[in-house]
């Protein structure tokens, strides 16, 4: 990683400047192009155009400004949102500028969350129709303005590429020339949206609008922000959960070149310096004694034992159809439990936040999935009104749920309150992991009765912490966390009787959303359990599932498509090294989408597992941009494979044991399998796709291991020693 070489006047040689220089050598034609995602700046308004509604602003000249309610963090949200608006506005993607929405819940609150948040694979589900309506409404206002200008019937006018035309006279006016007058036109209560047969953008593989800036190093992430007179801070919090600062000797830190200040708070310390490298060196020299607090005895083995004991129930009923418990008393009974560990997020861009506290005001520059939460959190930390806090949001270098929290904005604000001038606070990778808000532990307990090759009674009990009870309390209703049981309730299978229960079980470990959220546990456990039943009853796993999908044709279609593409029924290709091979399948319905996956694995005598091929078929409803769907499935699958094969966060002595990618590793490029995606055409409402790829691949890989070795994965990740012993 390059050292920061910034001084208080700006970057002498930042990684952005280096990348731009390389791009100038390698691709000179790219330099100088006006690119379509505006940088966030505090010294300019969010938009300079005439506002036709909350999402469409039209300047007198230049591109139409589209205000994006969901944040771009690599998932293609800006492109898909822009396509919905531009489709109904009759403009091209080359005619728009995407602008980050400011904190404003009434205007930009997620229709599904209510709060202003980007997550849960909800962007396309929540915003497709509202954005299309916003685009159509703005277009109607522009047409009305042109009709008034020319004294003609609006119905006689046409629009194309940002121009209103009068076919009868040949007259044309650009949207920019009409914008001020259009802004005075009362918007229609109802507008007619385009028939899908007329779509020019929606459904096409359009290039992402954020890629050109990123390719030449022009995109400004939160970690790249530079403010006049800015200082840089590195921080350290207690290594023990809930610990506090006991004593600090700051003399060794202050003796380091470039170090200006040491900030000591009750639960953390920060070193402020002329650049990040100096701050990190000062932090390494700092002598800190910690008071461990009440959780110093927290132990992973005990955490597992506690959640297993809690899972013995009873739970709160999340879904009940028929009398499953009574039905389980007869017939062939199957039972199994599955456990998922704590997980860290480790986005490529570690946590960072730049804050300037001055004159009773607070300015924030950050990449966040929840700008309103950051605004309110900083205000609370500083004891000021939220209206005194401005948030300049940035494109994010990976979120995965971590930036659905506002803790880092609060921490940065507390540090900035002690610093004269703006300060950029950056977490090291070690602090990023050790102070993460983790994916919860989950314990899923399942029972089933099988008759004539079908499950006739099904009992699924999910035990884990409730994220919603803390993050969005109104969504935690009747003792049920809807996220935790997502994927368990409303299963695609036609079980005769179903009981799904939820048991809330908390520990001192702070937990939050992680890519795939609740279905990670519920789908993994259900699909693993179905394979266990299929094996013990001597039934092909795909045929077993097919026999229970007569009422969910979309689920059956993706299962058949994945099986056909993967050539299910034929042996998995032999490994050149002679390793054991296996093939596994999984099916899911969550986030409004249906996915099926077939995975091939090769397993060495040492127990090491390599995923060699992944085939995923997906029905996500009406597709906005197929390229984004494929990319999200591939990226999600990579995330999920890493989880199955390698990752767990463990707690010992109240501390997270992992610290960086050497002991919390990612799948490497030489380990990547071929990932093939087939999109099933659909006219249904759009579903989500950011999370499902992560979810669906995990049970498919686990079932492939099971097929190859007879060893079922009941606690993630894979234990090579256990597999080696079995084979």
Q: What is the CATH number of the domain that holds 672?
A: 3.30.365.10
pLDDT of residue 160 exceeding 80, the answer is yes
**Angle (CA) 154 157 161, round 5°:** 125
Q: What is the pLDDT of residue 86?
A: 97
258 and 189 fall within a common domain: no
Residue 17 lies in a domain: no
**In what helix (H) or strand (E) does residue 449 lie, and over which residues does it extend?**
strand 442-451
d(CA 696, CA 581): 20
Cβ pair 408, 427 in contact under 8 A: yes
321 and 443 fall within a common domain: yes
Residue 87 lies in a domain: yes
* Among candidate residues 391, 426, 461, the one where a domain is terminated: 426
> What letter would DSSP give residue 313?
S
pLDDT of residue 1 exceeding 50, the answer is no
Please report, for residues 126, 219, 676, the alpha-carbon distance to residue 7 in angstroms, rounded to integers and kept in the order given. 43, 20, 47
pLDDT of residue 718 exceeding 90, the answer is yes
What average pLDDT does range 531-542 have in this prediction?
Answer: 97
Q: What is the pLDDT of residue 353?
A: 98
d(CA 118, CA 78): 12
pLDDT of residue 44 exceeding 60, the answer is no
pLDDT of residue 348 exceeding 70, the answer is yes
Cβ pair 607, 548 in contact under 8 A: no
Within 10 angstroms of residue 228's Cβ, the number of other Cβ atoms is 10
* Among candidate residues 215, 241, 268, the one where a domain is terminated: 215
Residue 13 lies in a domain: no
332 and 277 fall within a common domain: no
Q: What is the pLDDT of residue 47?
A: 61
318 and 367 fall within a common domain: no
Mean pLDDT over the full length of the chain:
93
Range of the domain at 148: 34-215
What average pLDDT does range 143-164 have in this prediction?
Answer: 97
DSSP string, 410-426: HHHHHHHTTSSS-EEEE
What average pLDDT does range 326-337 have in this prediction?
Answer: 89
Residue 382 lies in a domain: yes
566 and 683 fall within a common domain: yes
% of the chain beyond a pLDDT of 90: 91
Smallest CA-to-CA distance from 648 within 722, 721, 715 is with 715
Collapsing DSSP to helix, strand or coil, 575 comes out as coil
Q: What is the pLDDT of residue 11?
A: 39
pLDDT of residue 16 exceeding 50, the answer is no
Q: Is 381 exposed, middle or buried (0-12, 13-18, 19+ CB in 10 A)?
A: buried
> What letter would DSSP give residue 403?
G
> What letter would DSSP give residue 155?
G
Cβ pair 290, 243 in contact under 8 A: yes
47 and 111 fall within a common domain: yes
531 and 642 fall within a common domain: yes
Give the tens place of pLDDT for each residue, 564-592: 999 999 999 998 888 999 999 999 999 99
For the chain, what is the domain count? 3
pLDDT of residue 33 exceeding 50, the answer is no
DSSP string, 173-213: EEHHHHHHHHTTSPPPSS-PPPPGGG-SSTTS-PPPTTHHH
Cβ pair 121, 378 in contact under 8 A: no
Collapsing DSSP to helix, strand or coil, 174 comes out as strand
523 and 587 fall within a common domain: yes
What average pLDDT does range 489-512 have in this prediction?
Answer: 97
Residue 184 lies in a domain: yes
Smallest CA-to-CA distance from 534 within 585, 581, 460 is with 585
Residue 3 lies in a domain: no
Smallest CA-to-CA distance from 583 within 618, 625, 619, 541 is with 541
Give the tens place of pLDDT for each residue, 613-670: 999 999 999 999 999 999 999 999 999 999 999 999 999 999 999 999 999 999 999 9
Of 43-57, 109-123, 387-401, 619-633, the range with the lowest mean pLDDT is 43-57
Positive or negative torsion for Cα 372, 378, 379, 381: positive
Q: How far is CA 285 from the centre of its chain?
A: 36
Edge-to-edge strand list for the sheet holding 163-166: 158-160, 163-166, 171-174
Collapsing DSSP to helix, strand or coil, 593 comes out as strand
Smallest CA-to-CA distance from 34 within 96, 83, 102 is with 96
Please report, for residues 7, 529, 615, the alpha-carbon distance to residue 230 in angstroms, rounded to integers and kept in the order given. 8, 55, 49
**In what helix (H) or strand (E) does residue 501 lie, and over which residues does it extend?**
strand 497-504
646 and 599 fall within a common domain: yes
Confidence of residue 6 (pLDDT cuts 50, 70, 90): very low
* Among candidate residues 215, 248, 277, the one where a domain is terminated: 215
Confidence of residue 80 (pLDDT cuts 50, 70, 90): very high
521 and 584 fall within a common domain: yes
Q: What is the pLDDT of residue 427?
A: 98
Q: What is the pLDDT of residue 13?
A: 40
Within 10 angstroms of residue 2's Cβ, the number of other Cβ atoms is 9
Cβ pair 123, 90 in contact under 8 A: no
Residue 22 lies in a domain: no
103 and 135 fall within a common domain: yes
pLDDT of residue 24 exceeding 50, the answer is no
User: Which residues, other chains included, contact 505 with Cβ-Cβ below 8 Å and sequence gap of 6+?
Assistant: 306, 307, 310, 311, 443, 463, 464, 465
Collapsing DSSP to helix, strand or coil, 492 comes out as coil
Confidence of residue 46 (pLDDT cuts 50, 70, 90): low
pLDDT of residue 42 exceeding 90, the answer is no
pLDDT of residue 695 exceeding 80, the answer is yes
Q: What is the pLDDT of residue 726?
A: 83
Q: What is the pLDDT of residue 313?
A: 84
pTM over 0.75: yes
pLDDT of residue 25 exceeding 60, the answer is no
Give the tens place of pLDDT for each residue, 395-454: 999 999 999 999 999 999 999 999 999 999 999 999 999 999 999 999 999 999 999 999
Cβ pair 647, 635 in contact under 8 A: no
325 and 186 fall within a common domain: no
Which neighbouring-strand residues pair with 291? 244
The number of CA neighbours under 13 Å toward the Cβ of 267 is 11
d(CA 276, CA 279): 5
The tokens for 623 are 């597709």
Give the tens place of pLDDT for each residue, 91-103: 999 999 999 999 9
Residue 407 lies in a domain: yes
d(CA 203, CA 80): 10
């Amino acid at each position: 990683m390059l050292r920061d070489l910034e001084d208080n006047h700006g970057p002498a040689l930042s990684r952005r400047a280096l990348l731009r220089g390389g791009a100038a050598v390698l691709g000179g034609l790219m330099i100088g192009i006006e690119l379509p995602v505006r940088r966030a700046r505090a010294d300019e308004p969010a938009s300079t155009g005439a506002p036709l509604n909350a999402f469409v602003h039209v300047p007198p000249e230049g591109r139409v400004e589209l205000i994006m309610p969901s944040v771009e963090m690599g998932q293609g949200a800006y492109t898909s949102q822009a396509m919905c608006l531009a489709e109904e506005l009759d403009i091209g993607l080359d005619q728009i500028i995407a602008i980050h929405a400011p904190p404003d819940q009434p205007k930009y609150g997620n229709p599904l969350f209510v709060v202003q948040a980007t997550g849960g694979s909800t962007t396309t589900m929540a915003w497709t129709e509202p954005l299309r309506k916003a685009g159509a409404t703005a277009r109607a206002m522009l047409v009305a303005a042109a009709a008034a200008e020319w004294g003609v019937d609006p119905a006689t006018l046409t629009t194309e590429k940002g121009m209103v035309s009068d076919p009868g006279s040949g007259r044309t006016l650009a949207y920019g020339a009409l914008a001020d007058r259009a802004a005075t036109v009362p918007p229609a209560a109802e507008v007619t949206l385009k028939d899908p047969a007329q779509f020019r953008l929606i459904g096409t593989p359009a290039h992402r609008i954020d890629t050109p800036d990123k390719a030449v190093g022009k995109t400004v992430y939160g970690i790249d922000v530079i403010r006049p007179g800015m200082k840089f801070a590195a921080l350290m919090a207690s290594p023990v959960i809930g610990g506090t600062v006991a004593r600090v000797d700051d003399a060794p830190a202050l003796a380091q070149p470039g170090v200006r200040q040491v900030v000591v708070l009750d639960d953390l310390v920060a070193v402020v310096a002329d650049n990040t490298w100096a701050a990190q060196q000062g932090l390494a020299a700092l002598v800190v004694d910690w008071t461990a607090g009440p959780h110093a005895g927290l132990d992973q083995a005990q955490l597992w034992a506690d959640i297993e004991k809690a899972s013995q129930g009873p739970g709160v009923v999340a879904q009940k159809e028929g009398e499953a418990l009574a039905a389980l008393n007869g017939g062939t009974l199957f039972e199994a439990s599955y456990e998922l560990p704590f997980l860290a997020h480790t986005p490529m861009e570690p946590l960072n936040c730049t804050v300037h506290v001055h004159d009773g005001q607070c300015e924030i520059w950050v990449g966040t999935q929840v700008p309103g939460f950051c605004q309110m959190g900083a205000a609370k930390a500083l004891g000021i009104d939220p209206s005194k806090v401005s948030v300049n949001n940035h494109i994010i270098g990976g979120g995965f749920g971590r930036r659905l929290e506002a803790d880092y904005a609060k921490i940065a604000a507390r540090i900035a309150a002690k610093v004269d001038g703006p300060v950029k606070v950056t977490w090291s990778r070690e602090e990023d992991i050790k102070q993460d808000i983790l994916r919860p532990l989950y314990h899923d307990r399942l029972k089933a009765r099988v008759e004539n090759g079908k499950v006739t009674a099904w009992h699924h009990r999910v035990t884990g912490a409730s994220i919603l009870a803390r993050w969005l309390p109104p969504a935690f209703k009747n003792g049920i966390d809807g996220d935790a049981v997502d994927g368990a309730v409303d299963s695609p299978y036609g079980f005769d009787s179903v009981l799904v229960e939820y048991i809330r079980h908390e520990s001192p470990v702070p937990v939050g959303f992680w890519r795939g959220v609740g279905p990670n546990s519920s789908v993994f456990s259900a699909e693993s359990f179905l394979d266990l039943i299929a094996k013990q009853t001597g039934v092909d796993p795909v045929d077993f599932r097919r026999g229970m999908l007569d009422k969910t044709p979309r689920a059956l279609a993706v299962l058949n498509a994945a099986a056909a593409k993967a050539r299910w029924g034929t042996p998995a290709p032999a490994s050149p090294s002679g390793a054991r091979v296996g093939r596994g399948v999984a099916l899911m319905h969550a986030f409004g989408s249906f996915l099926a996956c077939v995975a091939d694995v090769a397993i060495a005598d040492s127990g090491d597992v390599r995923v060699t091929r992944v085939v995923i078929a997906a029905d996500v409803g009406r597709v906005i941009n197929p390229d984004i769907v494929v990319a999200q499935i591939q990226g999600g699958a990579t995330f999920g494979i890493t989880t199955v094969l390698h990752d767990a966060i463990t707690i010992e002595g109240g501390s997270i044991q992992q610290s960086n990618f050497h002991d919390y590793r990612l799948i490497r490029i030489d380990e990547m399998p071929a990932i093939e995606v087939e999109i099933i055409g659909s006219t249904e409402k759009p579903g989500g796709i950011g999370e499902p790829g992560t979810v669906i691949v995990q049970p498919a890989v686990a079932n492939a291991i099971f097929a190859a070795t007879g060893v079922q994965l009941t606690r993630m990740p894979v234990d090579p020693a256990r597999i080696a012993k079995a084979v």
